[in-house]
Chains A and B, each alone.
Chain A
Amino acid sequence: MLRLDAISKTYPTGTQALAHLTLSVGAGEILAVVGGSGCGKSTLLRLIAGLDRPSGGRIEVDGETIAAPHPAVGIVFQEPRLLAWLTVAQNIGFGIAHLPRPEREARIQAALERIGLAGHGNRWPRELSGGQAQRVALARALVARPRVLLLDEPFSALDHFTRADLQQHLIALWEDTRPTLVLVTHDIDEALALADRVVVMQPHPGRIGAILTVNPEYPRAPGSPEIEALKRQILNVLGPARSHAALPAAAE
């Protein structure tokens, strides 16, 4: 259970990135956060990850306050950020170096198989395609068994087919341990395809414009009437912001 209690973030430059944001995310829930550039969605993730401190308010995971990176919280960035001098397997095991060797090896092997890279553990990151590298990044975050996994536009740099494939990988990996997922994206279709709830953010300062629940009964196929209706709602909330900021996702 992830709780954000009235958090705000103002940068030293005076920019107010987030204002008084309150939100609870249930255990095992998949929450998507959509919004245009500059609405504070990446800032939000960095705060939950403990990489930045909020200017006000509290962030709790299962009752523990987050003030620095926490073992229960993992993060996948927009870029794979693999370490070029480590093999694929070593990259996946990077965050679990404290575990005993057999346990570590077992988790790495299982993860390699899960992301379709079994037998590729000894390759270097430079030999991977963009999609493969991002799968490795996903595995690296998940082998540490976080209770909350944060994803910061993880598939935005990938082409359409690879993105669809990665979304499937994400869901398959998620089913293993069912962590809470917070997925920041500017792709509304992606949000609706994956999430239980969608938080729509608005800029200046970053705040929650609306929270929509995606009925689990809905067929998730894009183009179904229910999904289209939700998409229109999201676009309506984002609408007023369109004059302020560029909204590539909404324009799609």
Chain B
Amino acid sequence: MSAADGLIETPAPAARRSGAVRRGGGTLQGWQRALLGFALPVGAALAWEVAIRLGIAQGRLLPAPSTIISTLADLARNGDLALHIRATLARVAAGFALGVAAGTLLGALAGASGLTRALLDPTLQGLRAIPSIAWVPLFILWLGIFEASKVTLIAVGVAFPVYLGTLGAILSVDRKIIEVGRSFRLTRLQLSCRILLPAVLPHYIVALRSGLGLGWMFVVAAEFMGASEGLGYLLVDGQQLGKPAQIVAAIVVFAILGKLTDALLVAASAPLLRWEDTAQRAAQAEG
């Protein structure tokens, strides 16, 4: 080791130090931060509960949290909740899978060359400009009112953000690292597997997450179209029969499921993205 080596080594620990400070976010530990995140919703719920117990508010339009919890418990006990969750999850899963497949394929095709991009992108951007709900009548005419039209609507909603994310990720790959691959005489296939795919992955995961978010959005729209089961049905049913507790209960379940599936996606992709800069990763986890 020469004297200059010591000089070179110094930036690394310095970078680690600044990373630790950033991760700490002041003096908050991870669990303290999580607790702080719960403070607002839990506090508001408790305040509302107290207000209704004291008779300050009636809670006719927005029931007390305890009422909502007991509604959820009832639904869970007679097995309805599991039935509705299963129906909705199945629709989201099928729509998400189809949408991701289509979006990824089209994105990869459009990203493959300038020619295919010029061919595909204008059409897809045009289709993307159509509000997806506008397709509903057509899908019902074509596919009927049962599962096929619902899954198709969700798939359309998922496909566009995945397409955009995939294409954007491919186009943003640094020409310079592709050159490294070329200088080592990688074939087109090797270049795709060893450089493009890993380089694209972080952006692609983000695209999948926004696709999943839209999948949850569109499953509600799809279930409003007339469903006999599913969380969206619970919403409509609650409205028609004047059961606000059931509506709020379904909304809470949507929130939990949405967050859960997103966390699942993040957790599944985490081992593939260990190499990413920690600051970026922290920002993504928060975002």
Give chain A's interface residues, CB within 8 Å of chain B: 49-51, 68-71, 74-75, 77, 79, 81, 83-86, 94-95, 116, 124-132, 144, 161-162, 164-165, 168
Contact = CB atoms under 8 A, between A and B. Distances in A.
B277 A126 contact: yes
Contacts of A85: 198-199, 201, 275
B176 A77 contact: yes
A161 B184 contact: no
Given A83-B177, A162-B8, A116 B275 contact: no
Given A81-B176, A83-B195, A132 B275 contact: no
Given A75-B183, A77-B176, A84 B11 contact: no
B247 to A, nearest CB: 45
A165 B5 contact: yes
A162 B2 CA distance: 11
B7 interface: yes
20 contacts: A75-B183, A81-B176, A81-B177, A83-B180, A83-B198, A84-B275, A84-B276, A85-B198, A85-B201, A86-B275, A94-B194, A116-B5, A126-B275, A127-B12, A127-B15, A128-B12, A129-B10, A130-B11, A131-B8, A162-B7
B4 A165 contact: yes
Given A85-B199, A165-B2, A165-B5, A68 B185 contact: yes
Contacts of B286: none
B183 A49 contact: yes
Contacts of B7: 161-162, 165
Nearest to B276: A84
B8 A51 contact: no
Interface in B19-56: none
B1 interface: yes
Given A85-B198, A168-B2, A95 B184 contact: yes
A71 B185 contact: yes
Interface in B194-224: 194-195, 198-199, 201
A128 B8 CA distance: 9
Chain A to chain B: the 5 pairs with minimum beta-carbon distance, closest first: A165-B4, A95-B184, A129-B11, A131-B8, A85-B198
B182 interface: yes
B182 A79 contact: no
Nearest to B197: A85
B74 interface: no
A95 B194 CA distance: 11
Interface in B253-287: 274-277
A132 B177 CA distance: 18
- Indicate the size class of the contact surface on chain B: 20 to 34
B12 A164 contact: no
B1 A116 contact: yes
A144 B5 contact: no
A75 B276 CA distance: 26
A81 B180 CA distance: 7
Nearest to A128: B12
Contacts of B2: 165, 168
A95 to B, nearest CB: 4
A132 B176 contact: no
A69 B185 contact: yes
B195 to A, nearest CB: 7
Contacts of A71: 185
Given A84-B276, A85-B199, A51 B12 contact: no
Given A94-B180, A116-B1, A116-B5, 19 more contacts: A68-B185, A69-B184, A70-B185, A77-B180, A81-B177, A81-B179, A85-B199, A95-B184, A125-B275, A126-B277, A127-B12, A127-B15, A127-B16, A132-B12, A161-B4, A161-B7, A162-B7, A162-B8, A165-B2
Contacts of A165: 2, 4-5, 7-8
Contacts of A168: 2, 4
Nearest to A95: B184
A214 to B, nearest CB: 24
Contacts of B1: 116
B7 to A, nearest CB: 5
Nearest to A73: B183
Contacts of A69: 182-185
Nearest to B8: A131
Contacts of B275: 84-86, 124-126
Contacts of A126: 275, 277
A136 to B, nearest CB: 12
Contacts of A51: 179, 182-183
A144 B183 CA distance: 11
A81 B177 CA distance: 6
A126 B195 CA distance: 17
Contacts of B177: 81, 83
Contacts of B194: 94
A85 B195 CA distance: 9
